[in-house]
Chain A
Amino acid sequence: MSAAAAPPGVRPDLEQVFRSDYPRVVAVAARVLGSRDWAEDVAQEVFLSFGRSSVPAGEATGWLTVAAAHTALNVLRAGRRRAAREQAVGAGGRDVPDVADAVVAGDESSRVRAALARLPRKQAVALVLRHSGASYAEVAGALGLSVGSVGTTVRRAESALREELGNDASSV
């Protein structure tokens, strides 16, 4: 498939960057959301923003990765808010399963994600980037941390999430 001319206002290298980085962006969002379908929706949003941005080409991959983590965490947070609201008013009424339903469902993956949504944003992004294969230097650059503090940040996040897993294991 050859690259067609980009629509007005869209950066010309979008298709090239999309084809090389799309799988990585989906993978990052999927770690947050636990679902590749939702992750693909997030990836579309991220590339839409990127397509209309002037992020330098050399920084594209880093920008996309961080944007994927943030956007997916926003979706997770919004889902939890919705779940809490629906529980509060006792109104289900949704016929499409989504993140909110999954969080309410309460399986292990969902508990981890509920905990992920509660983490301070920096910890959550550092954790997701690290588990998506980013180096400590890359995580530090993305979050404005010193390289030395990335390990501490990731460790705290893992410790908090492990508590959720531990609770889950002990309840089985």
Chain B
Amino acid sequence: MRHPSDGTLRRLLDEPVAVSDDDRAHVASCATCLTGLAAARADAAAVGGALRPGGAAEVDVDRAWAGLAATLATTAPAPAPARRPARAGRWRAALRRPAVAALGALVVVAGGGVAAANDWLPIFRTEQVAPVEFRPADLVALPDLTAYGDLEVTGSGEPETVPDAATAEERTGLDVPAVAELPTGVVGEPAYQVVGQVTATFTFDAESVAAAGGGELPAELAGSRFRMEAGPGVAAVWSQSSGLPALVVARAVAPTVYSDGVPFETARDLLLSLPGLPADLAEQLRALSADGSTLPLPVPADRVTSEPADVDGLPATALASRDGLLAGVVWVDDGVVTVVAGSIGTDEALAVARELR
């Protein structure tokens, strides 16, 4: 009979009863296999020893749990306020997702608004992305716009899995980006997800603004509306066996905000002065939005670093988590925002971005 494989010899060391009687009998009487088995045993023992971590074996579970509980308490979304719970809940749920959190910041800057009329004046069109340093607590503390008026959201923003790239293109009208060469460690075929267009209409309400400590609402803002549109979008997601995404390449129609007549600056300045927005952050947002074309991307400054980059001559923003686990790059081309991110390095994210087809 032929010799059992190296893998069978290896299993013989760990789970001998799982190896067939025939194989065991062969190995016991075969000098070649016994030599192979001895080599496997020596390698396993040496590697096992080398992988053994140094230091005390005991972990302090109580202390570790306290640490995790503290992290959860500072990064979890705050409970929805009792006032208008349904809308606030929906708004805060949206803020949990980074992509939508970016839109959330945009809405704060420009005043999200909605309706479907031809007299809407485009006041904002995303042409580039610039990072804004946020602390996670700031994100949670963003003004809840439902306190200043009525916010109505159309479209769920929930991703839906589709079978293939062709279906994704058909559903979104977007070119699904194709990756030329996958980074090391990313394997297999991606899952495709699509998300429909999301629109939000925000209407200022004078009484609400006053009640929230925002002072007197300028007359021209009372009852004025803003409409924000974002999407549709498509994402190709390569998963690891753990379920964590190894690589995500996503593309979406970038957010655009329309006003029904109020100058952009008027709405923006009021929003920026509302309580709850840290003064330094407000200053950054004011500077970024001066030309109404920059999408501020909220970056948790204590966990993520950002730096300017370029993708095929277009300005881009490279992001990397400080723990080295995740990196990504985001840029806007002709009103379409593209993101490449995952458990990869910034250099790998840029390499993928520059080779997208």
Contact surface of A with B, Cβ cutoff 8 Å: 1, 4, 6-10, 15, 18-19, 22-23, 26-27, 30-37, 39-41, 43-45, 47-49, 51, 53, 55, 63, 66-67, 69-71, 74-75, 77-79, 81-82, 108-109, 112, 116, 120-121, 125, 127-128, 130-131, 135-136, 142-144, 147-159, 161-162, 165
Contact (Cβ within 8 A) A108 B50: yes
9 contacts between A and B (CB under 8 A): A18-B61, A35-B53, A53-B243, A67-B243, A71-B325, A127-B47, A136-B18, A149-B7, A165-B47
Interface residues of B in 227-249 (CB under 8 A from A): 240-244
Contacts of A55 in B (CB 8 A): 243
Q: Tell me which of B64-72, B158-166, B255-263 binds A.
A: B64-72
Contact surface of B with A, Cβ cutoff 8 Å: 5-11, 14-15, 18, 40, 42-44, 46-48, 50-57, 59, 61-62, 64-65, 67-69, 71-73, 75-79, 92, 96, 185, 187, 240-244, 323-325, 343, 345, 347
Contact (Cβ within 8 A) A75 B243: no
Q: Given A44-B68, A70-B343, decide whether A63 and B242 contact each other with a Cβ distance below 8 A.
A: yes
Contact (Cβ within 8 A) B50 A7: no
CA distance A157 to B43 in the complex (A): 10
Partner of A162, one of B47, B73, B324: B47
The 4 closest A-B pairs by CB, nearest first: A78-B324, A152-B7, A151-B7, A30-B53
Contacts of A156 in B (CB 8 A): 6
Contact (Cβ within 8 A) B72 A22: no
Contact (Cβ within 8 A) B54 A43: no
Contact (Cβ within 8 A) B11 A78: no
Contact (Cβ within 8 A) B71 A44: yes
Closest B residue to A143 by beta carbon equals B241
Q: Given A30-B53, A149-B7, decide whether A7 and B73 contact each other with a Cβ distance below 8 A.
A: yes
Contact (Cβ within 8 A) B68 A47: yes
Contact (Cβ within 8 A) B68 A48: yes
CA distance A112 to B43 in the complex (A): 12
Contacts of A71 in B (CB 8 A): 242, 244, 325
Contacts of A158 in B (CB 8 A): 10, 40, 43-44, 47
Contact (Cβ within 8 A) A151 B53: no
What's the minimum C-beta distance from A72 to chain B, rounded to whole angstroms?
10
Closest B residue to A85 by beta carbon equals B347
Q: Given A9-B96, A45-B325, decide whether A67 and B345 contact each other with a Cβ distance below 8 A.
A: no
Contact (Cβ within 8 A) B9 A155: yes
Contact (Cβ within 8 A) B47 A131: yes
Most chain A C-beta atoms within 10 Å of own C-beta, residue among B55, B61, B96, B241: B241
Q: Given A22-B65, A144-B241, decide whether A31 and B43 contact each other with a Cβ distance below 8 A.
A: no
Contact (Cβ within 8 A) B64 A45: no
Contact (Cβ within 8 A) A151 B5: yes
Partner of A39, one of B53, B96, B244: B53
Contacts of A150 in B (CB 8 A): 7, 11
